[in-house]
Amino acid sequence: MLNSLRSIVQEVNAARDLQSALDIIVRRVKTVMKTEVCSAYLLDSNQRYMLMATDGLNADSVGQVSLGLDEGLVGHVAAREETINLKQATAHPKYQYFSETGEERLNSFLGTPIIHHREVLGVLVIQQYEERRFDEGDEAFLVTMSAQLAGVIAHARATGALDSMRQRGQDAKFVGVAGAPGVAIGRAVVMSQAADLRSVPYKEITDIEAEISFFQSGLNAAQEVIGDLGEQLKSRLNTQEQALFEAYLAMLNDVTLIAEVTDRIGEGVTAAYAWSEVILEHERTFSGMNDPYLRERAADIRDLGQRVLAQLQSTSENNYEFPDKAILVGEELTASMLGEIPYEKLIGMVSVQGSGNSHVAILARAMGIPTVMGAVDFPFTQVSDRELIVDGYRGVLYADPGPDLRKEYEEICVEEAKLVKGLEALKDLPCETTDKYRVSLWVNTGLMADVVRSLERGAEGVGLYRTEIPFLLRDRFPSEEEQRAIYREQLEAFAPHTVTMRTLDIGGDKALSYFPIKEENPFLGWRGIRVTLDHPEIFLAQVRAMLKASEGLNNLRIMLPMIASVGELEAAKKLIFRAYNELIEEGFEIELPPIGVMIEVPAAVYQAKELAARSDFLSVGSNDLTQYLLAVDRNNPQVADLYQAFHPAVLRALEQVARAGHSQGSSVSICGELAGDPGAAILLLAMGYDVLSMNATNLPKVKSAIRGVSLAEADALLQEVMAQPDAESVGRCMDKAFEKGGFARLFGPKITH
């Protein structure tokens, strides 16, 4: 059964469109389950379950027969969201007969809902003429089948939506997760990871002859590389491995394979795209095979495919063209991709992977670039050069928008620009409540571009300088001197204001290409301080660079990420003292900077007092703290709804940390994204946070909100909020207060679509 299941899913995955996927499903399920009818019904835009594919019923009834939401047995399965297994379907009160389908003698019925992300997409049904109660094994198989296929169907439906909606003159809408607020209307530039077969963008070409000869030269080059590699390794390879190289070379000479690719190129697409399509099809065929030996060959095909693709991409014009209003689209956008784009042309971003608190989203917020993350069903390889609207407020995007939608979003853009302009006036005004209670608004930085934006917006210091960003943008560790120069630039730009430099925080979703960390569970693994304490040479070089950079400026604070115990803090402090003493001995005239601890692990919340007693300041990293408190991966769009920044557990932890820090006379900051939310900022102020550190983009909005309330009002709101049992009711409290205070616009525009 497992093999059948796997091979059906593989075949469905390889289907070109939704209709062929459904046709495969009904045909294969009917055979495997040895029944007489298998049909698939999908919910259509009229809220009816339409018969979309059948093997066994009258084929003409496809697209004709449909049932309402709780109509007939199909509607009943969907409404109950449960499998229904009937020996004699005709006796069931919900049974409905359709003459078009020719099903009069079908007695037994087994129907199971197809559910994706809590949404019923349709119903999968098998039927039989003789009276038979399908057994438990049948039920289990059909349930497993529809659970596995739900994602594939949802994806195929969304992918097909692009073309069918365009044909019907509708805007193709895709839902993701809000990444960075704002709205952008521009042209898609699809950026793929090098040699990634699944993300080669669809591009059309006109000179077919030239593309075919380009493909040939790519193949020849790959052949040479593989041949040379085989030669070089000959003495070290066993016969089986040598045979693999020969098999690769043979495949590259395989006339059918070459013909398949040239045929596709003949349809007017690039060699890279044609090659990736053909290889992926072969890979799927092999992965779907029952024989384990043949199944494993899928990996060889993929490997070979990637090698040739690398050749095609390295020799092709891989330098992207950027229109003036470029929207960067990719399967998984990374910080280093951002470095490749002319900043002035980049107006929006879309990432298929990742979520609102992925680091690329945090960078996007810092740069003020509207971004949608986790658009898992977005057919990103198909949208090169097409017009997109990115709605970073709601995490929604549209491809090929129609004139009405475009107009609405253009108006929002104008309104947004007005709001930002209006807030500029606040730049030099103090951040204080109406009754003169002051709180410091600092910024989070990482890129040099952040510095100018931060100063323009009136930042009073840096609460988090993410030192890993310059590390991410290189292909080796920066030397101590290179680091010193980078840090000096930051410290000088903000002097005399404080700059809080966090020691290297890699691991989790921040992987250095030159220092790979492979783990099953990276967020619970070797991250932040754990890595640098295990590599004192990296830590010491970084701290020495920071200290040297601060000479004569004395505006540095050092902050330690991911601290989970007093022992880690003590060990890190020891290394910092050592670096400091060495530099003093070397003749540097520097002051020992304040050393602080990030509170981003639940253990640190409960030890905040002990940590505060042994350090100079605490700073809450609410991004990680939320993910660890709620056990929700900050990168996973599937659980993005559960990542609730206003969850009472998070708010209580925040309050507890502020109290514990102050009990030891420590200054308490927050540098997670929560600080940049105008509503949260009011609560944090009332909790007593001394410093709120946020992305430069949000700083004026936060200042505007704080300048509009009194401390007493903020306290009252905090009291009310802390009495709420869940994030939803906290949200309602906040909305009410902000509507009343007239600040609702700070949270984004009202969008009607």
Considering only residues 466-495, where is the footprint of ligand PEP by CB under 6 A?
Answer: 466
Q: In what order do the strands lie in the sheet with 387-391?
A: 172-175, 396-399, 387-391, 183-190, 326-330, 346-351, 371-373, 177-180
Tokens, residue 636? 């996973």
**Binders of ligand PEP: how many residues, by CB under 6 A?**
11
Nearer to ligand PEP, 461 or 672 (CB): 672
Give me the least distance between CB of 150 and Mg ion, in Å please: 34
Q: Which of 227, 252, 244 is nearest to 300 (CA)?
A: 244
Check residue 672 for interaction with ligand PEP (CB under 6 A).
yes
Considering only residues 608-667, where is the footprint of Mg ion by CB under 5 A?
Answer: 621, 624
Check residue 354 for interaction with ligand PEP (CB under 6 A).
no
CA pair distance 106, 317, nearest whole angstrom: 60
Work out the burial of residue 92: count CB atoms within 10 Å of its CB; fewer than 13 is exposed, 13-18 middle, 19 or more buried: middle
Nearer to Mg ion, 568 or 600 (CB): 600
Give me the least distance between CB of 178 and ligand PEP, in Å please: 16
The region of 102-110, 111-119, 227-235, 593-601 touching Mg ion under the rule CB under 5 A is 593-601
Give me the least distance between CB of 672 and ligand PEP, in Å please: 3
Give the residue closest to ligand PEP by C-beta: 621
H helix or E strand, kind and range, residue 397: strand 396-399
Q: Which does 690 bind (CB under 5 to 8 A by kind): ligand PEP, Mg ion, none?
A: none
Position among 464, 601, 640, 737 found at the interface with ligand PEP (CB under 6 A): 464
Give me the least distance between CB of 245 and ligand PEP, in Å please: 43
Nearer to Mg ion, 458 or 621 (CB): 621
Nearer to ligand PEP, 362 or 683 (CB): 362
3-state secondary structure at position 83: coil
CA pair distance 615, 563, nearest whole angstrom: 12
CA pair distance 71, 55, nearest whole angstrom: 22
Q: Which does 116 bind (CB under 5 to 8 A by kind): ligand PEP, Mg ion, none?
A: none
The region of 269-277, 301-309, 620-628, 723-731 touching ligand PEP under the rule CB under 6 A is 620-628
Q: Which does 464 bind (CB under 5 to 8 A by kind): Mg ion, ligand PEP, none?
A: ligand PEP
Check residue 621 for interaction with ligand PEP (CB under 6 A).
yes
Q: Is residue 359 among the annotated active site residues?
A: yes
Work out the burial of residue 476: count CB atoms within 10 Å of its CB; fewer than 13 is exposed, 13-18 middle, 19 or more buried: exposed
Position among 73, 546, 671, 699 found at the interface with ligand PEP (CB under 6 A): 671
For residue 335, give every residue at least 6 positions away whose Cβ sits within 8 Å of its Cβ, in sequence order, or none.
359, 360, 363, 469, 472, 473
Check residue 507 for interaction with ligand PEP (CB under 6 A).
no
Say which of 359, 431, 647, 733 is annotated catalytic: 359
Q: Which of 413, 361, 388 is nearest to 751 (CA)?
A: 413
**Distances in Å between the alpha carbon of 604 and those of 266, 466, 611, 667, 720?**
61, 20, 8, 16, 26
**Binders of Mg ion: how many residues, by CB under 5 A?**
3
Give me the least distance between CB of 598 and Mg ion, in Å please: 7
Q: Is residue 671 among the annotated active site residues?
A: yes
Nearer to ligand PEP, 75 or 672 (CB): 672
Give the other-Cβ count within 10 Å of 384's Cβ: 18
Q: Which of 132, 114, 133, 119 is nearest to 53 (CA)?
A: 114
Site string for ligand PEP, 514-553 (x = CB under 6 A): ----------------------------------------
Position among 532, 622, 644, 666 found at the interface with ligand PEP (CB under 6 A): 622
Nearer to ligand PEP, 439 or 671 (CB): 671
In degrees rounded to 5, what are phi and psi of residue 161?
Answer: -60, -35
Say which of 116, 155, 282, 671 is annotated catalytic: 671
The region of 26-34, 518-526, 579-587, 618-626 touching ligand PEP under the rule CB under 6 A is 618-626
Nearer to Mg ion, 359 or 544 (CB): 359
Nearer to ligand PEP, 157 or 365 (CB): 365
H helix or E strand, kind and range, residue 556: strand 556-560
Position among 55, 624, 655, 690 found at the interface with ligand PEP (CB under 6 A): 624
Give me the least distance between CB of 623 and ligand PEP, in Å please: 3
Tokens, residue 96? 């409905």
Position among 11, 600, 633, 655 found at the interface with ligand PEP (CB under 6 A): 600
Cβ proximity of 608 and 596 under 8 Å: no
Check residue 35 for interaction with ligand PEP (CB under 6 A).
no
In degrees rounded to 5, what are phi and psi of residue 619?
Answer: -140, 125
Cβ proximity of 694 and 670 under 8 Å: no
Burial 132-168 (b: 16+ CB within 10 A, else e): eebeeebbebbbebbebbbbbbbbbbbbbbbeebeee
Q: At what angle do helices 18-32 and 136-167 cross, to 10 degrees?
A: 170
Give the long-range contacts of residues 62-66, CB within 8 A, separation 24 or more: 64/100, 65/98, 65/100, 65/101, 66/41
By annotation, the residues acting in catalysis are 359, 671
Q: Which residues bind Mg ion (CB under 5 A)?
A: 600, 621, 624
Q: Which residues bind ligand PEP (CB under 6 A)?
A: 362, 464, 466, 505, 600, 621-624, 671-672
